[in-house]
Amino acid sequence: MGKPKPRRPDRPAKRKFNGNQHAGPTKKMICEQDLRSVTESIDASYQNIIPHVPTSPSDLRDVKTSASSVKLKQQTPDVVLDKEDSLTGFRFIDLELLIEFVQKLLCPECKRPIGENQRLSTVVEHRTNQASKVVFTCQCQHKVDFLSSKKCGKVFEANRRFPLAIFSLGKNHCGAKRFLGNMNMPPPPHKKSWQNHKKQCLKATRTVASECSSQAVAEVKTSKGTDVIVSVDGTWQRRGFSSKNGVVTVLSVNGQNSKVLDTVTLANYCNVCAKEKNSLSEIDFQQWQAQHTAEGKCQKNHTGSAGSMEPEGAERIFRRSEEKHGLRYTHYLGDGDSKSYSRIKNADPPVYDGVEIAKLECCGHVQKRMGRQLTNKVTELKTTTFQHDGKQKKGIGGRGGLKKAGILTIQGHYGAAIRGNVGNVPQMRKAIWAIWEHRNRQHTNCGNWCPTKKHNGVDPNKNSLPSYIMDAIKPVFVTLTDDSLLQKCAHGGTQNTNESFHHLIWERCPKTTFCGRDRIELAVADATIVFNSGEIKRTDIFVELKMEPGFYTTMCFMELDGARIQRAEVQGTQKVKQQRQQRALDNAEQYADTEEYYLSGAHE
């Protein structure tokens, strides 16, 4: 072999390995981190509650602070994460490995390993659902026991935490059994014990939710006084007005700081009553039902159809507002065909003596009216013949006419004109008519959305429509610029907050599985806590259940709040908004030539 090639003087003897510089830390690195630094970083991210958003600075120039950020900034955690030097919390432990480890330990009596002679030493488990007491008996008859969970009162903490966690995930007894089965763990408590756990969880969650609502009421009183605007909406567990359960929610209209003030859950069905009715005579059943209801065990609290739940629930909430919160809901923000407002307005006796409740329109619902009425106009005139440029044109839709993409664009500009001129009805009307004038080749009053304002060389009349189409749709603009309608939209508010809250409810109690009123009330209370104050407020539930929340519980809830704010900030960037709008227009182009097409809110 020849001599090795001499090393170049400008190259090091051994290359330094830098690893993948673009990858995050490994699990081993995270585990080896000082837990104190983790705690400090979490506290810092919570105090500066808006975390880093992975977008370029140009994307964030027009970002407005999200509603989630506004609400969660007000929540200051009272707990201090100072348990970095101690081992706390629960772990998944293989019991066989634990037994092998303990049997290697020396018995304090005979000074020999407990499991030295397997035939003479015994291991007995006394299991209570997810908690266990394992007793080791040495051959000298000395006993050593081990508890897998502390107690909160008379109940093992593990047995109380587990149902609470399952409920927060939107599952119930069957879901708990499936999870434990996959983990090769003992089954959950019997259904009767499970119901007892649910009652305790419901009681504690209600208490914390009431505190969150009281805090929201105090904020509204400080900023708005005692006569306030509220947004009212109903949601059902099943679609099609055939649901046996419904929820009515009332939220404050307080800028970006909208919060839940009150809720009511209604049910027209009780499973226990249905079973007893089939087994008892009519007279016996009536006697039994009277006692069942007097004891507060009946799930049914509404008589009537699912459609009547929203009016009934809204009236209950309005009538108790003064006694419960010291507020009067003098302005009702709801959808256009709301039966609830008619119920409250015509209530006998009146809800508030000498005070008339004014109706406000949801700007989102009114915006959809533009799309729906233009769609109806296209359908109405599809067989009508028009004269244009010496040619006959049939209908106002299709190629060269008013397509679905054009309708959605006009609808979006209409909504922007309302929200961009809050409190100024004349300017709002002028901005709406500018949309019609723009399509009619008149650009004097156009906004920044018009190409003539940007001077980018784009033909300003690119999206204009023939005069016969503009004359046909003009009555729609006349209707939707009526003074009485625009005055009801001058507040600029929507029911989007109600819909967001409803999403949280059914995330915790999915519509796919029927359940009783108690289970839905638990989901409503938990959703109220998270919506008003964030996940970190749920630590108070553990305190109510006489448990310490714990280091990891607090840390995870803080991280969830941070992720929630990050998502909201990203969704609020101008770039993401434009992407959503473009997707809507692209979807509309696929159905541009169809005669009939669906728009959400078609009942408007």
What pLDDT digit, counting tens, does each position of 122-135 carry? 888 898 899 998 88
C-alpha 426/C-alpha 130 separation (Å) is: 66
Helix, coil or strand: residue 229: strand
415 vs 432: CA distance, rounded Å: 9
pLDDT at position 477, please? 95
Q: Is 397 in a helix, a strand, or coil?
A: coil
Strands of 68-210 (E only): list them: 122-128, 131-137, 143-147, 151-152, 155-156
Task: Provide the pLDDT for residue 15.
Answer: 54
Reference 526, options 505, 547, 498, 554; nearest CA is 505
Q: Can you read off the two tokens belonging to residue 400?
A: 């060269």
Q: What is the C-alpha separation between 420 and 434, in angstroms, rounded?
A: 13
Higher-scoring residue by pLDDT: 505, 122: 505
Pair type for strands 358-361 and 328-334: parallel
Lowest mean pLDDT among 48-62, 70-84, 508-522, 564-578: 48-62
Q: Once rounded to an integer, what is the mean pLDDT over residues 40-48?
A: 44
Q: Please tell me the least confidently modeled range out of 243-257, 470-484, 579-593.
A: 579-593
CA-to-CA separations, 232 to 264, 265, 316, 495, in angstroms, rounded: 11, 14, 12, 8
5: phi then psi, degrees, rounded to nearest 5: -65, 130
Judge whether 206 and 525 are in contact, CB under 8 Å.
yes
pLDDT class for 184, splitting at 50, 70, 90?
very high
Tell me the mean pLDDT in the region 167-193.
93
Give the chain's mean pLDDT: 82
**Long-range contacts of residues 420-429, Cβ cutoff 8 Å, at least 24 apart:** 420/447, 422/490, 422/491, 422/492, 423/490, 423/491, 423/492, 424/490, 425/483, 425/486, 425/487, 425/490, 428/486, 428/489, 428/490, 429/481, 429/483, 429/486
319: Cα within 13 Å, side-chain hemisphere: 15
- Per-residue confidence at 49, pLDDT binned at 50, 70, 90? very low
Q: Is the pLDDT of residue 263 over 90?
A: yes
Distance CA 125, CA 245 (A): 43
pLDDT grade, residue 457 (50/70/90)? low
In this predicted structure, which of 258-262, 344-348, 451-455 has the lowest mean pLDDT?
Answer: 451-455
Confidence (pLDDT) at 262: 96
The residue among 275, 265, 294 whose CA lies nearest residue 518 is 265
Q: From the centroid of its chain, how far is CA 67?
A: 13
What is the structure's pLDDT at 118?
Answer: 63
Q: How far apart are CA 475 and CA 3, in angstroms?
A: 95
State how far the Cα of 268 lies from the Cα of 23, in Å rounded to an integer.
Answer: 55
Alpha-helix runs per DSSP H in 104-190 = 157-168, 173-182
Q: What is the DSSP string of 280-319?
A: S-HHHHHHHHHHHHHTT-------S-GGGHHHHHHHHHHH
| Least-confidence region, from 38-47, 172-181, 233-242, 345-354 | 38-47
Tens of pLDDT, residue by residue over 378-402, are 999 988 888 888 888 888 988 888 9
pLDDT at 42: 40
Each residue of 400-456: pLDDT tens digit?
Answer: 889 888 898 899 899 999 988 988 999 999 999 999 999 988 888 887 778 777 666
Whether 297 and 517 have beta carbons less than 8 Å apart is answered as no
Residue 456, pLDDT score: 65
Say which residue, 31 or 112, is predicted with more confidence.
112
Our CA angle for 372, 376, 379, nearest 5°, is 140
Query: Of all helices (H) and strands (E), which one includes residue 272?
Result: helix 271-279
Give the H/E segment covering residue 416: helix 404-419
Residues with Cβ within 8 Å of residue 401, at least 6 apart in sequence:
378, 393, 395, 465, 466, 469
Helical ranges in 14-172 per DSSP H = 27-32, 35-47, 67-73, 95-103, 157-168
The reported pTM is 0.80
Residue predicted with more confidence, 234 or 55: 234
Is 38 a residue whose pLDDT tops 60?
no
Half-sphere exposure of 585 (CA within 13 A, CB side): 11
